[in-house]
Structure 1
Amino acid sequence: MDLVAKMAAKKAVVIFSKSTCCMCHAIERLFYDQGASPEIHELDRESKGKEMESALSKTLGGCSPTVPVVFIGGKLIGSANTVMTLHLNGSLKKLLKEAGAIWL
């Protein structure tokens, strides 16, 4: 989990995903549409991707599917369901502003 935490702290928005996951693509698109430029780590293309996926799964309490997993401001936000809930209730933009991911 140390590697994941270090990677998550490098940028205001970090998404762990897989290149073949349609929900990952949708969440990534949501952040771009909000004006954020997330750092994306595709676990199926990372040399330690399986280890990172295992650590993320444990962090999420064994949630399936394990991706996408979103960090904002270095803090774990959660999976697609959590991100969509935040977006729909208007909280996502506030989190992005607080993290310095967007300015408007």
Structure 2
Amino acid sequence: MDCIANLASEKAVVIFSKSLCCMSHAITRLFQEQGVSPMVHELDQHPRGKEIEMALKRLGCTPAVPAVFIGGKFLGTANSVMTAHINGSLNKMLKDAGALWL
């Protein structure tokens, strides 16, 4: 869990992903289209990827990816991100974390 906390605080938006996961790709694109440049950790290419994936599952991520952290805080998986985007709260989170200035 310490590894996740350290990685999640590297940048305002951090996404734990897998390179062949279409939902991970879609969530990453959503942030990029908002003008946000997230830090993306591809677990299938990370030396500690399996360990991180298991820790994300213990955190409640089902499936484990994509797992999104904003401002070092766990937002959730794709469903949580899309809900926040649709209800308008995602922009506020991004502004509060310093990922968006508009």
Q: TM exceeds 0.5?
A: yes
Give the Cα–Cα distance (whole angstroms) in 2 for the partners of residues 25 and 10 of structure 1.
20
Report % sequence identity: 64
Superposed CA offset, 1:68-95 (max 9, x none): 0000000000000000000000000110
After TM superposition, what 4+ stretches of structure 1 lie above 6 angstroms from structure 2?
none
SS of residue in 2 equivalent to 1:44: helix
For the pair 1:43 / 2:13, whether they are aligned, the reply is no
Q: Deviations over 1:49-75 (max 9, x none)?
A: 000000000001xx4321000000000
Q: Which residue pairs with 2:17 in the alignment?
A: 17
For the residues of structure 1 that align with 2:23 and 2:56, how far apart are their CA atoms? 17
Question: Structure 1: where are the runs of 5+ without partners?
Answer: none
Following superposition, the deviation at residue 26 of structure 1 comes to 0.2
2:64 to 59, 63, 66: 66
Q: Distance in 1 between matches of 2:45 and 2:18?
A: 8
| Distance in 2 (alpha carbons) for counterparts of 1:66 and 1:5 | 15
Instruction: Report the RMSD for the aligned CA atoms in angstroms.
Output: 0.6
Q: Which runs of 5+ in 2 are unaligned?
A: none
AA of the residue aligned to 2:57: S
TM-score for the superposition, normalised by structure 1:
0.96
Letter in 2 for 1:10: E
| TM-score normalised to structure 2 length | 0.98
**1:37 Cα deviation from its structure 2 partner:** 0.5
